[in-house]
Structure 1
Amino acid sequence: MARNRVRTTRLVSVLALSAALPLATGCGTESTPAPDQKAAGRKPVVVVTTTWEGAFAKAAGAEDVTVIVPRSVHHAPDYDPKPSDLAAVAKADFVLYAPFEPYAAKIKEAAGSKAKLVEVNLDNDPAKAGAEVARLGGLFGTKDTASRWKTRLDDEVAKLNGELKAAWPDGKRPSVVSQVFTAWAAGLAGATTVGTYGPEPVTPAQLASLSAKKPALVLDNAHMSTGTVLPDSGAKQVGIVNYPGEDLDLLKVYRDAAAELKKAMGGV
């Protein structure tokens, strides 16, 4: 079960404590041999920066997962860890982070942890997510669990894709404009992507270009929303959530996105 904690203290406080903690003998990276979980006869202890990494870890077979950044913090790089986070990190076998979270390595270093630091490719595209979960399963020594989850993912995506195609307005494939981090949702719906935007705000030139393509839907990133993307275009905007909840159920992210897409297509 994920153990989430609220963090507000500045990162400088974290680093200040490092002098009083044991120094790491080496930085755990992907080139460092992973702990032999099978030989140790236990499941890996995993610390993750957000619920998104946590969901990938859980899908791969991790059972002892601690989440650092609360789900209420929509933009993880803005989060400042608290000194008490160090206790969890120091006991971890693996610390999972995304490249846009610059504090992850500093947390591990400050804690004196010998955990393996693993960069995770956070992309909910089903093929990429399945591959990443399989890779983590290999690191954790839980390949069988990861493989079973991949089967569940494939079945869920096929089911949702069929339901969404059945909901196409007038039986026609909808055209969409997608934020770059929500393109996976367009694929889930079987939609035609006529343009993308972000992560920067849409410029006037982009606005004119994207509006001219007359999309039926705009798939916005709920975690990086800048408001209505294509005002006066007639397109219906759909907020797509990438981060799972505290249950770390990544499949629910697909189900929730499908529900929002179906609702939007009903009014297109």
Structure 2
Amino acid sequence: MARTRLRIPSLLALSAPLALVLVTGCGGDTGSSDDGARPRDGKPVVVVTTTWEGAFAKAAGAEDVTVIVPSSTHHAPDYDPKPSDLAAVAKADFVLYAPFEPYAAKIKEAAGSSAELVEVNLDNDADKVGAEVARLGKLFGTEDAAATWKSGFDTEYAKLSQELKGAWPEGKSPNVVSQVFTAWAAKLAGATTVGTYGPEAVTPAQLADLSKNKPALVLDNAHMSTGTVLPDSGARQVKIVNYPGDDLDLLAVHRGAAAELKKAMGAATS
């Protein structure tokens, strides 16, 4: 069972400002090699910026996972890491981050340290999830655990997808408009994507273009919503959550999306 920890050492022990912690905080003898091989004790210590990276790490077989950004933060990229948050990287074998996070650039400056910095492709699309978990498993030296997780994920994903197809209104694949980071949910449902938007707010010209194909559903991003996307169109807006909770359960995100989609499709037929 992976454990999510937030190490917060005494501020008295921190003599550097945030930028310096980010640049040098990954120092120390962690036991990892320069090529990212398995740590000497076989149990990688992983620090991640958010629960999303943490879920990928857990799926790949990591058991010691520290999350910097609290899961209660609605929009993780807006979080302002404190020096005490980032001090955890000093004992890490691997530090996982995403390029769209504003603080990622400073974390990347730690490349000369003994921790292996790993950029993660945060996308809940099933194929991309499988590829990323396998890649991380190889990096951590936990390939068997990663393969076992993927097998279970594939089985559950297929079940969820089949259930959603059985809930199609009038037995037909619904037309949907997706925010750019929720396209994976449309794929899970076997829906027909007739347009995408975001991450910026929809312009009047886009509104007309997105409405013309009469979508039944709008799959909004719960973490960066721009409000009602297609007002007065009759389309039901569904909030899709991308980030896992403190349990770092990536599959729970898919279950949650499936539940919301099934409810919305059922309402469309009533």
SS in 1 for 2:244: coil
Aligned-residue offset at 1:169:
1.0
In the other structure, the counterpart of 2:157 is: 157
Aligned-residue offset at 1:75:
2.5
The 5 A counterparts of 1:1-268 are: 1-4=3-6, 13-16=17-20, 32-37=34-39, 40-107=40-107, 109=109, 113-268=113-268
Deviations 1:154-181 (A, max 9, x none): 1011000111011111111111000010
Aligned-residue offset at 1:212:
1.3
**Contact 1:61-1:137 within 8 A present in 2 as well:** yes
**Contact 2:153-2:251 within 8 A present in 1 as well:** yes
Deviations 1:199-225 (A, max 9, x none): 111000000111111000000000110
Q: How many residues align?
A: 256
Aligned-residue offset at 1:79:
1.4
Deviations 1:239-261 (A, max 9, x none): 00000000000000000000000
**Contact 2:25-2:86 within 8 A present in 1 as well:** no
Given the superposition, is the C-alpha separation of residues 242 and 23 from structure 1 closer, same or farther in structure 2, using an over 3 Å criterion? closer
SS in 2 for 1:84: helix
SS in 1 for 2:124: coil
**Contact 1:57-1:136 within 8 A present in 2 as well:** yes
Aligned-residue offset at 1:42:
2.9
In the other structure, the counterpart of 1:28 is: none
Aligned-residue offset at 1:24:
5.2
Given the superposition, is the C-alpha separation of residues 81 and 18 from structure 1 closer, same or farther in structure 2, using an over 3 Å criterion? closer
Aligned-residue offset at 1:52:
0.2
**Contact 1:86-1:110 within 8 A present in 2 as well:** no
**Contact 1:217-1:235 within 8 A present in 2 as well:** yes
Instruction: State the distance in 2 between where 1:23 and 1:79 align.
Output: 20
Q: Which amino acid in 2 is paired with 1:235?
A: A
**Contact 2:6-2:66 within 8 A present in 1 as well:** yes
Q: Which amino acid in 2 is paired with 1:2?
A: T
Aligned-residue offset at 1:78:
1.6
Deviations 1:82-124 (A, max 9, x none): 1112331100000000011132352475798420000000000
- Runs of 5+ in structure 2 lacking a partner? none
**Contact 1:86-1:107 within 8 A present in 2 as well:** no
CA-atom RMSD in angstroms: 2.5
Aligned-residue offset at 1:5:
7.1
Identity %: 75
Given the superposition, is the C-alpha separation of residues 96 and 109 from structure 1 closer, same or farther in structure 2, using an over 3 Å criterion? same
Instruction: State the distance in 2 between where 1:17 and 1:47 align.
Output: 14
Given the superposition, is the C-alpha separation of residues 239 and 141 from structure 1 closer, same or farther in structure 2, using an over 3 Å criterion? same
Aligned-residue offset at 1:77:
2.5
